Amino acid sequence: MSRAVVLPYFDLLLEALGRGNPVLAAAFGRHVHWGYWPDPGVADGSVADFVAAAERLCVRVCDAGGARDGQRILDVGCGFGGTLMSLNERFSSVELVGLNIDPRQLERARRDVQVRPGNRVDFQEGDACRMPFPDAWFDVVLAIECAFHFESRARFLAEARRVLRPGGRLALCDFVPAPVMAPFVAPSKRMLRAYFERFSGQSDFSTTLDRYRALGREAGLSPVHEEDITRGTLPTYPVVRRVLRELDREVGVAVAGAAAMELASRLGLLRYVILAFDRR
Ligand SMILES: C[S@@+](CC[C@H](N)C(=O)[O-])C[C@H]1O[C@@H](n2cnc3c(N)ncnc32)[C@H](O)[C@@H]1O
């Protein structure tokens, strides 16, 4: 990897995918993020329903980014390339670039993408906080459920602004604490130390929505879209808790961490937001 980023859950996931686990391959073989249900009441708890909801979340963030035909689009923290696959299926004459710090994920993404004629897709290894791209290169930058892993959101936002053309747009989804929760994020993290050390890896859930706006402004980005979709993501948790039992190791800490996130989300202490910013 480009720098010492340790994400144990990807080690576990890649191990399970490597030995052909069909449940994990179905749930997380394309997107490695939560699902979105406009009406959470209709979620049926199946993996197939979750997969459709994960695609819906991806489409919603891409739409918030204003993705369309003919653009040059960067997906930061691109996982197994699911977002670029979705864009490649939906749009024409697009130039799509995926950036990830983990070359093993990129290898899988390169293997699985089926580029449609007229589109271009490229995957590059690199760090969201030190992007290997020229200034003003992209129309849209996306970051789906990954900014909490980055060394610094401020640095990432500054980099996103640098690589966007004037008027270009950054769209992302991320977990933010409710203001009342902010002082308790660090103590909660200490309580869940085993989860962060042995499963989630470096993760920072301390940036409130107000702080995000301020960081955006400081980076030269104007907020243009804010959406709290927490309620629509809640059906993710029962599916993920079940699917995590398919891992070879660390099932206990993984399920405990997911349960803690579910509780905090149900209590309104942890929010799932889609944000978009325009480069001024
Ligand atoms: C929860 S996964 C989301 C993956 C993908 N965006 C998706 O939605 O399927 C988080 C991703 O962020 C990537 N990541 C973590 N730190 C990174 C960094 N500093 N630079 C680039 N990618 C990073 C991880 O390797 C992983 O692919």
Enumerate residues 6+ apart whose C-beta is below 8 A from 70. Answer: 92, 93, 94
Supply the pLDDT for residue 2.
Answer: 46
Among 57, 77, 63, 111, residue whose Cα is nearest residue 201: 77
Atom of ligand 1 nearest to the CA of 75: 6
For 19-49, how does the pLDDT look when each residue is reduced to its tens digit (9 = 90+)? Answer: 999 999 999 999 999 999 999 999 999 999 9
Supply the pLDDT for residue 6.
Answer: 81
Angle (CA) 5-21-121 rounded to 5° is 55
CA distances from 207 to 69, 109, 229 (A): 33, 30, 17
Atom of ligand 1 nearest to the CA of 144: 6
Supply the pLDDT for residue 54.
Answer: 98
> What stretches in the chain show pLDDT beneath 50?
1-3
* Domains in the chain: boundaries: 8-279
> Tokens 């499963």 map to which residue?
199
Termini Cα distance of the chain: 33
The two tokens of residue 164 are 């966007």
For 151-175, how does the pLDDT look when each residue is reduced to its tens digit (9 = 90+)? Answer: 999 999 999 999 999 999 999 999 9
279 within 8 A of 164, measured Cβ to Cβ: yes
Nearest CA to ligand 1 atom 27: 79
Ligand 1 proximity of 98 Cβ (cutoff 6 Å): no
Helices (H), the chain: 8-18, 22-28, 47-64, 82-90, 103-112, 153-163, 185-191, 193-195, 209-219, 230-233, 236-243, 251-266
Supply the pLDDT for residue 4.
Answer: 56
Ligand 1 proximity of 82 Cβ (cutoff 6 Å): yes
Atom of ligand 1 nearest to the CA of 82: 9
The two tokens of residue 139 are 């129309």
Distance CA(185)–CA(204), nearest Å, equals 9
Q: Virtual CA dihedral for 113, 114, 116, 119, nearest 10 degrees?
A: 30
Ligand 1 proximity of 9 Cβ (cutoff 6 Å): no
What's the gap in Å between 169 CA and the centre of ligand 1? 19
Atom of ligand 1 nearest to the CA of 31: 9
What's the gap in Å between 185 CA and the centre of ligand 1? 21
What's the gap in Å between 167 CA and the centre of ligand 1? 25
Supply the pLDDT for residue 258.
Answer: 96
Among 170, 173, 156, residue whose Cα is nearest residue 227: 173
Nearest CA to ligand 1 atom 22: 77
Enumerate residues 6+ apart whose C-beta is below 8 A from 14. Answer: 104, 105, 108
What's the gap in Å between 142 CA and the centre of ligand 1? 11
The CATH class for the domain spanning 8-279 reads: alpha beta
Atom of ligand 1 nearest to the CA of 33: 8
